[in-house]
Every structure is written in C-alpha cells, then in structure tokens.
Chains A and B, each alone.
Chain A
Amino acid sequence: MWKTILRRILIMIPEIILLSILVFLLAKAMPGDPFTGSINPRSSAAQIQHLKELNGLYDPWYQQYWNWIVHLFHGDLGQSYQYHEAVSNLIGERAINTLWLSAFTMVLTYLIALPLGLYAGKHEGKLPDTVIRVYTYVTYCIPFFVILVIGLWIFGYVLNWFPTTGSVAPTAKGLGMLSSRFFHILLPGLLGALFGTVNIVQYMRSEVIDAKRSDYVRTARSKGVPEKDIYRHHIFRNSLLPIAAFGGYSITGLLNGSIFTETIFSYPGMGMLFIDSINYRDYTVITALVLLFGVMNLLGTLLSDIILGIVDPRIRIE
C-alpha cells in the first residue's frame, strides 16, 4: 500500500511540471496583459513600458517561466497585478471563505442524500422511491443559479430570514463573528445541499438495490437476522464503498468555489477570484490558482484510491 502511494506521488511530479508549463503558456496566450485597457490615459507611453518592464512582461517566455518557478520554490507566488497584494495572502483569504461554505454544503448534502438514497433503495418502486427520484430529478433539472436567485429573493429579501450579502456582518466582533459567519453561509449552503443531492442519492439507491439482491443479504435473511440489522450492518455499509471514494475526491473540490453562489451572494471566494483574474489578465493569480486546482485534483484521485483501498480490502494493491 505504502509503495503504491509513494509511486503515485512520484508520478505526480512530472505531471505537475507539465501542468505548470501548460498553465503558464495558456495564461500568456490570452489576448492582452494586466495593463491592457487599464492604464490611466495620463500615463505616458514610457510609463506603460516602464511598468511592463518592471514586471518582466517583455522577457522571453522561458525566462518568465523560469523566474516564476524559482519564486514558486521559494514559496513566493508573486504579487497580484489587480489587488497589489501577495497572491498567497489573497488566495489564503478567499480559501477560508470558500472552505467554510463548501464544507458546510458538503456535510449537509451527505446528511440529506444518504438517508434519502437508502430509503429510496429500500422501498424500490414504491411511492417513497418515486417521490425521492422525482425530487432528485427536479432539483437536477433546474439550473442552480435560478435556485440561488429565487432562494435569495424569497428567504433573503421577501421574508428577511437570512443575510443577503457577504460572508460576515460588517460590525460583528469576537464570538458574534463566528455565529455571523455561520448565519451567512446558512442560506447558500442549504440551497446548495437541497439542490445538489442527485448524484449521491442515485449512487446510494442503486448500491442499496444491488446489495439487497446479493447473496450475503439473502444468507443473512435466511438466518433470521432482523431486517433493521440487515440494512444497518450489511446493506448500508457495503453501499457506502463507492460513496466513500467519491467523497474522497469531492474533498479536493472544496477549494474550487462556486461562481454562481459567490456572485449572487457577493460572497468573496475562490470562484470569483478565478474568474476576475482571467478577466483582468492577472497572470500571477491565474497560474497560481490553476496550479492549485490541478494539484488538488491529482491529490484527490490519490486520496479516493487510498480510501477505497482502506474500506475495501478486495481491491487493495500490495
């Protein structure tokens, strides 16, 4: 097992290097640069040139890449052109916001989806199953941003139950800050969870249906094990296998952020940072983020393989 993990980690190194070159070149290939259209007309042409030179934008690409990599190994992701701040600080600030919201949404999603999937599988073909399936399909069919806008409108503006903007109240202090933060992610988190269950419910349901018909369940039943225990010990646990692996992978997505949620709730997170950095050609931020997302994905697949190996000894590679 350890050998496998080590081997996988070693393979990741060339993958990350390749990814970094691609990311860097693609960012530079976009039309314009951080100063396009954003220079004060009072700047003389010389000043525009001066700023570009200062930032090394006239150097050949391999030199720019090399400088970037060298800084990267020193833990310096560079300075954002747009924010005039160290990229690592910027990402740090946003990552915390995003982590709060996505972790909350994920936990909530599992809490809602697992029992529903189990219940639907147990009552396959009956009314509860139909109701749950209709619920998942309907929520799946409605575009998420529509849900967010309607949710914000009804619960935020009309009923006034939830805050409508930002990640924390402007004046909150101390402990109040923590509760205010939670209060702010409640509505987007709930909407995200209620309308994001389809995958897990469907996985869970079909796993339960499969397990129900398997030999070990039949054996348990014939031995007179109570139905409750069959579901708890035999079916539920086994059905969790793919979900566990899936969960391992989705942990890596926690940092990606949601552009829709962040824009509609004015919630400063990673998704908006990414889109803004592209719009403004904020190279240092783009490359840092894509690299981060890439590494997280590689780690995610590794993590999900490891989880699968731990929970299912049959596929453990020695």
Chain B
Amino acid sequence: MNKTKKKWAVSSAAIVIALSLAACGGGNKKSASSNDSGKAKLSAVYKNPDKANKSANEKSTLKVAEPNDSPFKGVSEPTLADNQEDSNVFEPGGSGTLFKTDDNYKIVDGGLADQKLDRKKNTVTITIRKNAKWSDGQPVVARDVEYPYEIIGGPKSTSSQYSSDFERIKGMADFHKGKADTISGFTYPDGEDGKKVVIQYNSLSPSMKFSGNSFVWSTAAPYHYYKGIPIDKLAASDQVRKKPIFVGPYKLDKLVDGESTSWSPNKYYWGKAPKIKHVTINVVSSNSIDKAIQTKKYDFTTPAGVMRGQSYKNLKKLKNYQMVGLPALSYNYFGFNVGEYDTELQKNVMDKNSKMANKSLRQAMMYAIDEDAINKKFGNGIKWRAKTLIPPVFDKYADTSAKGFPYDRKKANKLLDDAGYKKKGKWRTQPNGKPLVIHFGAMQGSATSHATYEDYLQRWHKVGLNVKMAGGKEMEMNSFYDTIQKPKQNKVDIYSAAWSTSSEPTPTQLYGEDAPFNMGHFVSKKNTQLMNDMNSEKAWNDSYRKDKFKEWQEYMNDQAAYVASDNSYQWGPVNKRVKGYDVSPSHTIDFWKDLSLTSAKLK
C-alpha cells in the first residue's frame, strides 16, 4: 500500500508489468457489490482481539514477504522508481508521503503536510508540519517539496513520470525544456528552509483534492541529501540505492541488493513512535510464497504485493492467518481497434469505416462471452466480472447500478442480425457482404488465461463470428504492446489487457483524445466532453462530478469501444499475532506505525 505512489500497470492475466507511478494506495473498507456468486468478502482491517505484548514488540522481528519472481531494483526515490516492488520493499520508510487521505482518497489534514487550494488565485499551498524531520535529523523544508518536480521534470531526467499535466504549473514547461534553471511557479513565503510552499498553477482542477492526481506530486525528496548529484545520475547514486534516508516511522538499517531490507524505528519521526522495533522485508518467489506462509515464515505479504488467485485458494482456510483485502485499483479490459494515432496532430483519430467501427458488433461480442462463468471457474473467489471502467474501489464514482455485459447469446445474435452481419454458411459477413475475420490479441499468461482465451473464441464462434488469435497464438508481452502501440495497425482488432489506476480515477490519460495509451483510438465529442466535465469548474461540486463519472460510464458501456472484463481483490494473508493491520486508504500513512505483535513467535 504505497501511499503516495500510484501505479499504472499494463498487464495480462498473469504477466504483470508494473509500471510506474505514484500511489496505488489502499482501498476501501466496504467490499464491492456483493451479489456476485462465489465471491469472497474480504475486509481491509484485521481486528485482532488479543493484547499487544510489549516484549514481543521489542525483541521479536516483524517478518514481511514481498512476493516477486525477480530481485527488486533498489530505487528508493518514488520520483524515479518505476516498479511496484521497489516501493513495496521501502514502504516502512514512508516513501516521503506528504498527505493523509480519507477512505475516498480525498486529501485531509493530519499528514506530513497539509494542502490548501485557492481557486481565486489558482494556487496550491503546502504547509509542512513543524516537527517533520528526515531520518538523519535534518528538518523537512519547503525546498524538499519542490525538488521532486525538478527530478521529474529536469531536461535530462530519466524519470518516466513527467506528463504534460505538470505544465499547468507556471514555468514548468520552460524548466522541462531547459530554458529556465528553476520552476518559476514555486515560491517560499518563509524561505527555502521554511515550512510553506506556494505553487502557482494556470488553473486548478477538482482532481487536485484527491491523492494521486496528476498535477500535485505527493512525496517529498531530501534536497539537502541529494544536493550536488546531477539529476540524471541520481537513480544510480548511493544516496538513493545504498543509504537512503526517510521521513516515515522507520529508518533503513540494512539493504541486501535485490533481496531484503531491514528496519528499525526512526527516532526523528514526526508521529507517534512505532511499536515494533525490528522489521524485515524479504523477496520470496511467487512459486514458494504459499509454502512460506503455510510454514509460518512470514507475518504478512506486502500490502501491495501481487498475490495470485491460486494462492488465495491454497491459503484461505489456513489456521492462524486471516485473509485481508480490498478491491484492487486495477481491472482487465477489452479494447477495440477503431482508428489510429495521428503522430503529427498528436491525437487519436477514429476511422468510421474500420472493421470494428460498428457499435452493435462490439456490443454483440461482449454479450457473447461469459465472464461470470470464467470467473466462477478460475477466479478463486477474488475475481469477478467488471461492470464499468471505474473499479469498484471508488465506491463514490463507480456506477454500482450498471449491469455491464452479462452473458446473453440471444441478444448478441439479435444485435448482429439487426446490424446487417448476415450469416453465409458458418460465418457472418460484414454488412457490405465482404467476409469478416476478427483478430484477437492477447498476452501469454498462465494456463487459466490460455483456457480463458479459448473460451472467448469458442463463444464468439457460436454467434457466427470468425475470430482468430492475432498472429495465430498468444503474444509475448513486448510483441503485444509493440503491435498495439503502433500509431496505425491492422493486425489486432480486439485485444485484452489491463490497467492499474491511480487513486484519483479521472480516466483522461487512458481514454482521452490525445492519450497515447488510448490504443484502440476511440474518440468522440461526447467522450471528450464528459471527461472534461469531470474536472470542469462545475465539478468542484462533488455531486456534479459524481454524476459526470456515472454518465461517462454509461456512455462507455453503450459505445463498448473499451469494456472492463474483470475486477479483483488486492489481498494478502496476515498472521494472527499481528495487531493493528489496516490497509484502508484513510489509514495508509499510519499503516506501519500502528502495527504491533501479540506474541514473540508467529501463531
């Protein structure tokens, strides 16, 4: 649960490449709509009735596993790390997280710093709490809040996290292009070593109220410690890799490259001192994580660590462990190729004559497949059919009344018949009489993903659609993205992929007109309008914003150019000697500090 970090991932069912960013924060205390058959109901909190044991807290070590098949990369600085495992193993250090949030990821007072938006002046004021210090004893100052923007936006920066959204900050574009040495939009009322930063924006967005938005970076970086290291060399420096300093409840005692980190309380921590005196995090192969938990080697897995559905099946009845989880900030989805990316205009352009341009064809394909059956068989209770493109963890924004595309072969056939896709022999033809062959692109994954793709094909065949695997088989991950990321391609007509969303759900970066990740190139006036409305002036009103999100979800389901296929839990096992385990979003910043142990040995 990395607070400030937001992870955007592109993944297939099993191959998950975690990509980047700020805060895949916690989740939600409430579980998602519960009418899905066979679905587990997990809570984000483990309420341990036992009393904490003082001597266990002081002498015993909290052992945490990071389930991962590769060594972690070792980049401790959130602005430069672009994978989830790095943020997981450095989490007890607090990752420089600035803000506390409520359960809807809305920024509230009480974190390392508070944020105030001034809509008249278009400024964001960040005030650091007075007693905030880095683990080397130096105070956290205004410059530390600004420095991440320099690391991300520097002309020579190697960070992949820069986006044009940051250019709403006055002077950021010039700084990024190397035309200015500083970002003029940052001012320090009490000086660089003060506690206050004012950021001047061209305009504010309602999304700025939420952690993980794309305008305000939500971590601090120790400027006094990084000073003097060129930004392009920062990721390779000892300050980032070998001896990082932190602002959270724990400080790093030892780092073993790629395999483990160990921690002890940070005496300069601004909040209440953590109770447990020793914490270790070890990388454990996902092949043996189940055995490691079953033999009580670890207290829990990192809250944002990737745990497979098969593990849930193996561990759910394990004595002395409680399964804890919340709906994940991610979903699998289908995308239809309906256009191209115009590299000159830097915009997606829809082609009304493309093979998949017909809405009825797209809808029919979605009604023809049975996600409920697939998830019942392979979901292990922690995966279920998605209803909309907003994951249910955003219970304020996700449209819980939406039905999505439940299996309905009759409806699929009718839609195709009505739209003129007539059957000639075994297969349907295009309305103009030409043969119709549809290419389905998907990534290699587990045995179950292979079976899932087979099931899709068979069901599409049953409604008379001649769908084939693009390239004859599932693709290797790089080939897959290499194919669909081409500005114009005709090898894949429909594809299956996945996104992890930020803790602020605005979907513009994924489905917007100029989004390079709108890989199916769906564009419409209404789509653009609805997404703009989500963050327009009126959207400062929460209920208006909520309505627009709902309207957008309805519209996207109707258009069916992108359709979410399934949602799942982000979950993990917790040993019953652990007390205070709570991964709800409002508790993210306090997660490590509030843990304690009820016995010296694992139960």
Binary flags per residue of A239-266, CB closer than 8 Å to B gives 1, else 0: 0000000000000000000000001111
> CB within 8 Å of B: which of A153-189?
153, 157-158, 160, 164-168, 170-171, 173
CB contact between B259 and one of A79, A165, A173 (< 8 Å): that residue = A165
**In the complex, A32→B292 CA distance in Å?**
36
- In the complex, whether B32 has a CB less than 8 A from a CB of chain A is no
Are A168 and B256 interface neighbours, CB within 8 A? yes
- Determine which residue in A30, A36, A42 has the highest number of CB atoms from chain B within 10 A of its CB, and name it: A42
Cα(A33)–Cα(B381), bound, Å: 36
Select which of A40, A89, A170 is within 8 A of B256 by beta carbon: A170
> Which residue of chain A is the closest to B443 with respect to CB atoms?
A37
- In the complex, A160→B291 CA distance in Å? 12
Q: Nearest-CB distance from A164 to chain B (Å)? A: 6
Task: Enumerate chain B residues within 8 angstroms of A36, measured Cβ to Cβ.
Answer: 478, 481-482, 485
CB distance from B217 to the nearest CB of A (A): 11
Chain A proximity mask over B316-348: 1 for CB below 8 Å, otherwise 0: 000000000000000000000000010100100
Count: A-B pairs, CB below 8 Å:
177
User: Which of A43-51, A56-64, A130-138, A192-200 is the contact stretch?
Assistant: A43-51
Which A residues are CB-close (under 8 A) to B258?
Answer: 93-94, 268
CB distance from B339 to the nearest CB of A (A): 15
Cβ contact within 8 Å between A47 and B260: no
The verdict on B235 contacting chain A, using a C-beta distance below 8 Å, is yes
- Residue A86 interfacial (CB < 8 Å): yes
- Size range of the chain B interface in the assembly: 35 or more
Complex alpha-carbon distance, A157 and B519, angstroms = 45
Q: How far is the CA of A237 from the CA of B514 in the complex (A)?
A: 75
Known: A157-B292, A281-B478. A40 touches B19 (CB 8 A): yes
Whether A164 contacts B288 by the Cβ 8 Å rule is yes
Residues of A within 8 A of B283 (CB): 165-166, 266
Interface size grouping (class) on chain A: 35 or more
- Min CB gap A99→B, angstroms: 15
Scoring A residues 58 to 96 as 1 if CB is less than 8 Å from chain B, else 0, what string do you get? 000000000000000000000100111110010001100
Closest to B80 in A: A84
Q: Is the C-beta of B201 less than 8 angstroms from some C-beta in chain A?
A: no
- Residue contact B236 to A40, C-beta cutoff 8 Å: no
Q: What is the chain A residue whose CB lies nearest that of B475?
A: A31
Contacts of A89 in B (CB 8 A): 236
Q: Are B287 and A44 touching (Cβ within 8 A)? A: no
Contacts of B69-125 to chain A: CB distance below 8 A: 69-71, 73-75, 80, 82
Structural contact, A83 and B74, CB atoms closer than 8 A? yes
Interface-located stretch among B160-168, B424-432, B521-529, B557-565: B160-168
User: What residues on B are CB-neighbors of A268 within 8 Å?
Assistant: 71, 257-259
A92 → B minimal CB distance (Å): 10
A39 touching B482 by the CB < 8 A rule? no
Q: Is A120 an interface residue (CB 8 A)?
A: no
Judging by beta carbons under 8 Å apart, are A85 and B71 in contact?
no
Q: Which residues of B contact A160 (CB under 8 A)?
A: 295
Assess whether A211 is interfacial by the CB under 8 Å rule: no
Whether the pair A264, B288 counts as a contact (CB closer than 8 A) is yes
Q: Which residues of chain B from 241 to 283 have a CB within 8 Å of any chain A CB?
A: 241, 253-254, 256-262, 278, 280-283
| Segment 17-43 of B: residues with Cβ below 8 Å from A | 17, 19-21
- A41 & B69 in contact (Cβ 8 Å cutoff): no
The CA of A85 and the CA of B74, in the complex, are separated in Å by 9
Closest to B298 in A: A165
Q: Please tell me if the beta carbons of A41 and B515 are within 8 angstroms of each other in the complex.
A: yes
Chain B neighbourhood of A165, CB < 8 A:
259, 282-285, 288, 292
Contact partner, A84, options B158, B479, B517, Cβ 8 Å = B158
Contact A263/B291 with A36-B482, A84-B236, A170-B261 known, Cβ cut-off 8 Å = no
CB within 8 Å for A85 and B241 given contacts A38-B82, A166-B256, A170-B280? yes
* Contact (Cβ within 8 A) A41 B71: no
- Say whether A45 contacts B516, CB under 8 Å: yes
Q: Using Cβ atoms and an 8 Å threshold, which residues of chain A touch B261?
A: 170
Which residue in A39, A85, A276, A281 is a CB contact (below 8 Å) of B236? A85
| Contact of A43 with B163 in the complex, beta carbons under 8 Å | yes
A44–B347 Cα gap in the complex (Å)?
A: 11
* In the assembled complex, A10 has its CB within 8 A of some CB on chain B: no
| Chain A CB within 8 A of B306 CB | no
Asked if A272 CB lies within 8 Å of chain B CBs, one says yes
> Counting CB contacts under 8 A, is A222 at the interface?
no
Expressed in whole angstroms, the Cα–Cα distance for A268 and B260 within the complex equals 11
Chain A, residue nearest B499 (CB): A41
Cβ of B214 < 8 Å from any Cβ of A? Answer: yes
Given the contacts A40-B160, A84-B158, A263 and B481 also touching, CB distance less than 8 Å: no
Most buried by B among A43, A167, A171, A267: A43
Which of chain B's residues have a CB closer than 8 A to the CB of A220? none
Chain B residue at minimal CB-CB distance from A39:
B160
Least distance between A11 CB and chain B CB atoms (Å): 36
Q: Are B70 and A276 in contact (CB-based, < 8 A)?
A: yes
B8 within 8 A of A: yes
* Complex CA–CA separation, A53 to B74 (angstroms): 25
Say yes or no for B377: interface residue by CB 8 A criterion.
Answer: no
Task: List the B side residues contacting A276 at CB < 8 Å.
Answer: 70
Cα–Cα, bound, A270→B515 (Å): 38
Flag whether A149 is at the interface (Cβ < 8 A): yes
Residue ID in chain B nearest A89 by CB atoms: B236
| Interface status of A142 (Cβ within 8 A of chain B) | no
Is there an interface contact between B516 and A48, defined as CB atoms closer than 8 Å? yes
B229 on the A face (CB < 8 A): no
Return the contact of A47 from the options B73, B162, B236, B288 (Cβ within 8 A): B162
Which residues of chain A have C-beta atoms less than 8 A from B278's C-beta?
Answer: 171
Q: Which residues of B contact A44 (CB under 8 A)?
A: 162-164, 346, 514, 516
Any A CB within 8 A of the CB of B181: no
Q: Which residue of A lies closest to B481 (CB)?
A: A37
Q: Are A46 and B285 in contact (CB under 8 A)?
A: no
B509 sits at the interface (CB 8 A): yes
Closest partner residue, chain A, to B287 (CB atom): A264
Q: Are A43 and B161 in contact (CB under 8 A)?
A: yes
Q: Name A297-313 residues within 8 Å CB distance of B.
A: none
Is residue B224 within 8 Å, beta carbon to beta carbon, of the partner chain?
no
Question: In whole angstroms, how far apart are the Cα atoms of A107 and B288 in the complex?
Answer: 28
Establish whether residues B479 and A32, one from each chain, have CB atoms under 8 Å apart when the complex forms.
yes
Minimal beta-carbon separation of B349 from chain A (angstroms): 14
B272: min CB distance to chain A, Å: 25
Give the complex CA separation of A268 and B259 in angstroms. Answer: 7
Q: Are B160 and A43 in contact (CB under 8 A)?
A: yes
Assess whether B454 is interfacial by the CB under 8 Å rule.
no
Contact A32 B478, beta carbon cutoff 8 Å? yes
Question: Closest Cβ of chain B: how far from A78's Cβ, in Å?
Answer: 11
Specify which chain B residues have a CB less than 8 angstroms from the CB of A149 in the assembled complex.
287-288
With a CB–CB cut-off of 8 A, which chain B residues contact A264? 285, 287-288
Does B297 lie at the interface of the complex (its beta carbon under 8 Å from any beta carbon of A)?
yes
A-side contacts of B262, CB under 8 Å: 170-171
Contact, CB under 8 Å: A37 / B291: no
Enumerate chain A residues within 8 angstroms of B481, measured Cβ to Cβ: 32, 36-37
Report which A residues bind B (CB closer than 8 A). Answer: 30-32, 35-48, 51, 54, 79, 82-86, 89, 93-94, 149, 152-153, 157-158, 160, 164-168, 170-171, 173, 263-268, 272, 276, 279, 281
CB pairs A–B below 8 angstroms (5 shown): A36-B481, A37-B477, A82-B73, A157-B292, A279-B478
